[in-house]
Chains A and B, each alone.
Chain A
Amino acid sequence: MRDVYIIGIGITTFTRLEYPLSEIAAYASMGALKDAGVDKVDYVLVANMGSARINSQSALGSALVDSLSLTPAGAARIENGPASGASAIKDGFMAVASGMHDTVLVAGAERMREVNNLEATDFVATLTHPMAEYIYGVTLPGHAAMFTRLYMAKYGVTERHLAMVAVKNQNNALLNPNAHLHQEISLAGILDSPEAFTNNPWVAEPIRFFDCCPVSDGGAALILASKEVAQASGRPMIRISGIGQATDTLAVHERDEPTDLMAVRLAAQQAYDMAGIKPKDVDVAELHDAFTILEIAESEEVGFFEKGKGHIALEKGETAIGGRIPINPSGGLKGKGHPVGATGVAQVHEIVTQLRGDAGERQVKKARTGLACNFGGFGNNVIVSTYVREA
C-alpha cells in the first residue's frame, strides 16, 4: 500500500446555511482545492446521509463535480449514516493507497435545517433498526438517554459530568470561527442555579438540552494525495497513519452489554496497529460527542482511559485544551455542530489544522499525532483514524 497524505482542507461555517446542499459541498471543496494548490483531482467522494430524503437531491457526487468544473473525474456519494464522512475518507484512502488514483477530493455535506426539528429528528432516527427500534418511536436522544442511564448506574457518571463535557466543548467552540454555537455556557447556568433546569430542560431523561449537539448545516473537504503529489504540493506532510472500522448489532438491545461500545474499541485497535502507535502516543483527538455521554464512553473505548474512568479524567481536566489528552478542541459535535454527513470529514479537518499548528487560540501545543472517531448509528458502524505530521 502507498502512503496517503492530506494536502488540502476546507470547511464552511457550521450553522444554518441558506444556500443549496451542493453549494455547501462546493464551498468546502473550493477551500480544500485552494489550500492544496490544485485545480483538478482524479476522483471525488461526497459523504452525505440525507440529501435524497430531506433536500430532494440524489447523486450528489455528480452535482459536485459539475459545480466545481471537475468533470470528467469519477464521482460518487457515500452514505453510511453519521459515519459517512469517515467512510468516504476510508474509501478515498484506499483509492490512493492502492495506486488507482493520485488525488482524491473527499467532501462531506449536509443541509439538515431545510426541514423542521421534528423532521430532522425523524430523519436521523431512520438509521435505527426498522422493525425492532424505529417503528416503536425510538430517536437518537432516546437511545442516548437509555445508554446514559445504564452508564450512570454502572460507572457512577452523574449529570454534573455530562454538564462538564457540555461546558468544555461548547466553550471550546467559542475559539473556533466555524463552529455552530458561539454562546458561552456555565455549570451555574445549566446545572446549579435555580433557573438551570428551565435553561437546560430534559430532552429524554437523563439527557438534557445542552447534552445534545445542535442540528446543523455544513460542509468540510479534504484533498488526499500520494506521497509524490504531497511532496510536490509543498504543503505540510500530514499522513493518514491508521484506519480501522468495525460494526456491531444494528439493534442496541441485541448486544450482550449495551454500555460496551465494542465497535469503537475494535476500530481503534485496528487503527493503532496499522499506525504502530499506542493510545498514549495521541496528542489530540476529535471524538463523536453527539451526546455528552458519548465523549466519556468513547474516550475509554479508544484507550485513553480505563473503562469507567473517563469521567474521572474529565473531572481532573485531562481532556481540556492544555490537558493530558485534549478532546474536541474544535468544540466537537456538541459545540461545532453536527451536519451528519460532514461530521467525519470535519473531525479530520480539525486534526489536520491542529497538526499543522494552525488552530490559533485552541491550538494543542506540540500536536504531532491525532485521532478521530466517527461513530455511526448508535455504535453499530464506527471508523477510527489516526494522523501524524511528518514534516
Chain B
Amino acid sequence: MAVDLEKLLRTVDHPYPPYPPKYMTLASGETLVIRQVTRDEVPTLLQHVAPLVFVERDYYDLVAARVYAELLGWYHHRVQDEYVLVAQIDGELAAIVNGRSVNPKLGMSLHTLAMRRGLRIGAHAFAAKMEYHIDTLGQDEVLIVAESPIGFRRWMIEYKLEKRFDIAHELGGVPSYALTRELFDRARDSLVVGRRPVPEDLLAKAHEAILPPKDPPTPPADLLAATRAKYDTTGSALILQRWAQERSAGDA
C-alpha cells in the first residue's frame, strides 16, 4: 500500500538532455567549473546550504531556505523536472543554481545562491543556467524573479529582462520577468563565458567531492545594531554600553 501511494506522490521527470559542463578563469585567477549534479549529491549540498539559512544579510536566509527546500523536494521526487548546477573551485562549492522546465518551450528559473562573493561567481552560474534553458533545452524563454536587490541588478538590469507581469512566478506568485532567446543572444558576448570541454583532471576533481565553501557569507557582526540602525541614528546608548563593558572587562 505504502509503495503504491509513493507512486502517486512521486513526480516523473521528462528525459531532458544534460548540461554540458564548462570552465572559466575567475578574476582571482582560480578556475571555476560549472556542472550539473545528480540526486545522489543532494545530501552533501544540503549540508553546505543549511548554515546560510541563518545569515540575515542580503536575503541569504530566505534564498538559502528556499534552495534547501527545493533541493529536498527534488531529492524526494516532489518537484517536477528540476535540475541543479553547481559551481566549484578545486572542488569547493562556490555557487548553486537551479530551475525547472514548465514545458519544452518554457523554463522557470528558481534560485542562484553564491557561496563566494566578489568574483561574479553567482553571475557566471546564473548565465550557465540560462545557457541550459536556451541552448541545451532549446526553450524560447525563461521566467525569472529576484528576491534581493543584488539579484534585481544582476538579472533584470544587466540582461534587460522583459516584463511578463501577467504570469505569476512559482516563487511567491509575484509578477514574472522573462529572458527571451533574443535577449540572451544580445548578452552572450558580455555576460556568458566559459570553455568546453572541461579538462579531465578538472572535471574529475569537481566530481570527486563537493567541498564546503571556504569563505561563505556570514551574519552581520551585531544583529542588534543592524536592527537599531533602521530606527535610531544617534547610537549613544549602544556606544556607552559597549564602552562600559570594555572598561569593566579591563578592570577585571
Q: For the complex, what is the distance from the CA of A189 to the CA of B193, rounded to whole Å?
A: 13
B28 engages A22 (CB within 8 Å) = no
Binary per-residue interface labels of chain B (15-35) against chain A in the complex, 1 for a CB within 8 Å, 0 otherwise:
000000000111111100000
Q: Besides the contacts A185-B29, A189-B28, A198-B124, what 13 more A-B pairs have beta carbons closer than 8 Å? A: A18-B222, A19-B225, A22-B235, A30-B239, A63-B234, A66-B236, A183-B28, A188-B25, A189-B26, A193-B25, A195-B24, A198-B190, A198-B192
B240 within 8 A of A: yes
B165: A residues at CB distance < 8 A? none
Binary per-residue interface labels of chain A (64-78) against chain B in the complex, 1 for a CB within 8 Å, 0 otherwise:
001111000000000
Q: For the complex, what is the distance from the CA of A19 to the CA of B220, rounded to whole Å?
A: 10
B172 within 8 A of A: no
A30 engages B193 (CB within 8 Å) = no
Q: For the complex, what is the distance from the CA of A196 to the CA of B119, rounded to whole Å?
A: 11
Known A23-B225, A184-B28, A188-B29; contact A116-B149, beta-carbon cutoff 8 A? yes
Binary per-residue interface labels of chain A (152-194) against chain B in the complex, 1 for a CB within 8 Å, 0 otherwise:
0000000000000000000000000000010111111110011
A67 engages B235 (CB within 8 Å) = yes
- Chain B residues within 8 Å of chain A by Cβ, number: 37
A258 within 8 A of B: no
The smallest C-beta distance from A255 to any residue of chain B, in angstroms, reads 34
CB-CB contacts below 8 Å: B190-234 with A: 190-195, 220-222, 225-226, 228-229, 232-234
Q: B27 contacts which of A20, A22, A199 (Cβ < 8 Å)?
A: A199
B118: A residues at CB distance < 8 A? 181, 183
Known A185-B27, A194-B25; contact A26-B239, beta-carbon cutoff 8 A? yes
- Chain A residues within 8 Å of chain B by Cβ, number: 38
A185 engages B225 (CB within 8 Å) = no
In this complex, what residue of A is CB-closest to B236? A67
Known A57-B233, A67-B234; contact A194-B120, beta-carbon cutoff 8 A? no
Known A181-B118, A183-B119, A188-B29; contact A198-B234, beta-carbon cutoff 8 A? no
Q: For the complex, what is the distance from the CA of A23 to the CA of B226, rounded to whole Å?
A: 12
B153: A residues at CB distance < 8 A? 117
A200 within 8 A of B: yes
B228: A residues at CB distance < 8 A? 19-20
The interface of chain B, by Cβ under 8 A from chain A, is 24-30, 117-120, 124, 149, 153, 190-195, 220-222, 225-226, 228-229, 232-236, 238-240, 242-243
Q: For the complex, what is the distance from the CA of A194 to the CA of B192, rounded to whole Å?
A: 11
B25 engages A23 (CB within 8 Å) = no
B29 engages A22 (CB within 8 Å) = no
Q: B222 contacts which of A19, A66, A196 (Cβ < 8 Å)?
A: A19
* Sampled A-B contacts (27; CB under 8 Å): A18-B222, A18-B226, A19-B225, A19-B228, A20-B235, A22-B234, A66-B234, A67-B234, A117-B153, A183-B119, A185-B29, A186-B27, A186-B29, A188-B25, A189-B25, A189-B29, A189-B30, A190-B27, A193-B25, A194-B24, A194-B25, A198-B120, A198-B190, A198-B193, A199-B26, A199-B27, A201-B190
B234: A residues at CB distance < 8 A? 20, 22, 63, 66-67
The smallest C-beta distance from B234 to any residue of chain A, in angstroms, reads 6
Q: A195 contacts which of B193, B221, B222, B235 (Cβ < 8 Å)?
A: B193
A384 within 8 A of B: no
In this complex, what residue of B is CB-closest to A68? B239
A23 engages B235 (CB within 8 Å) = yes
A193: B residues at CB distance < 8 A? 24-25
Which 7 pairs across A and B sit closest by C-beta, in order of nearness?
A: A186-B29, A193-B25, A23-B235, A18-B226, A19-B225, A189-B27, A183-B118
Q: For the complex, what is the distance from the CA of A67 to the CA of B117, rounded to whole Å?
A: 34
Q: For the complex, what is the distance from the CA of A195 to the CA of B123, rounded to whole Å?
A: 13
The smallest C-beta distance from B75 to any residue of chain A, in angstroms, reads 32
B194: A residues at CB distance < 8 A? 195
B242: A residues at CB distance < 8 A? 30
Give the most central of A56, A181, A185, A210: most B CB within 10 Å. A185
CB-CB contacts below 8 Å: A21-61 with B: 21-23, 26-27, 30, 55-57
A26: B residues at CB distance < 8 A? 235, 239
A190: B residues at CB distance < 8 A? 27
B28 engages A185 (CB within 8 Å) = yes
Give the most central of B225, B232, B243: most A CB within 10 Å. B243
The smallest C-beta distance from B194 to any residue of chain A, in angstroms, reads 7
B117: A residues at CB distance < 8 A? 183
B243: A residues at CB distance < 8 A? 30
Give the most central of B26, B193, B228: most A CB within 10 Å. B26
Give the most central of A19, A22, A69, A193: most B CB within 10 Å. A19
A187: B residues at CB distance < 8 A? 29
Q: A194 contacts which of B29, B190, B195, B238 (Cβ < 8 Å)?
A: B195
Q: A19 contacts which of B25, B30, B124, B235 (Cβ < 8 Å)?
A: B235
Q: For the complex, what is the distance from the CA of A188 to the CA of B24, rounded to whole Å?
A: 11
Q: For the complex, what is the distance from the CA of A199 to the CA of B124, rounded to whole Å?
A: 9
Q: B120 contacts which of A57, A184, A188, A199 (Cβ < 8 Å)?
A: A199
The smallest C-beta distance from B184 to any residue of chain A, in angstroms, reads 15
In this complex, what residue of B is CB-closest to A18? B226
The smallest C-beta distance from B12 to any residue of chain A, in angstroms, reads 38
B238 engages A23 (CB within 8 Å) = yes
Q: For the complex, what is the distance from the CA of A330 to the CA of B191, rounded to whole Å?
A: 32
A69 engages B25 (CB within 8 Å) = no
Q: For the complex, what is the distance from the CA of A362 to the CA of B117, rounded to whole Å?
A: 24
In this complex, what residue of B is CB-closest to A15? B221
Give the most central of B30, B234, B238: most A CB within 10 Å. B234
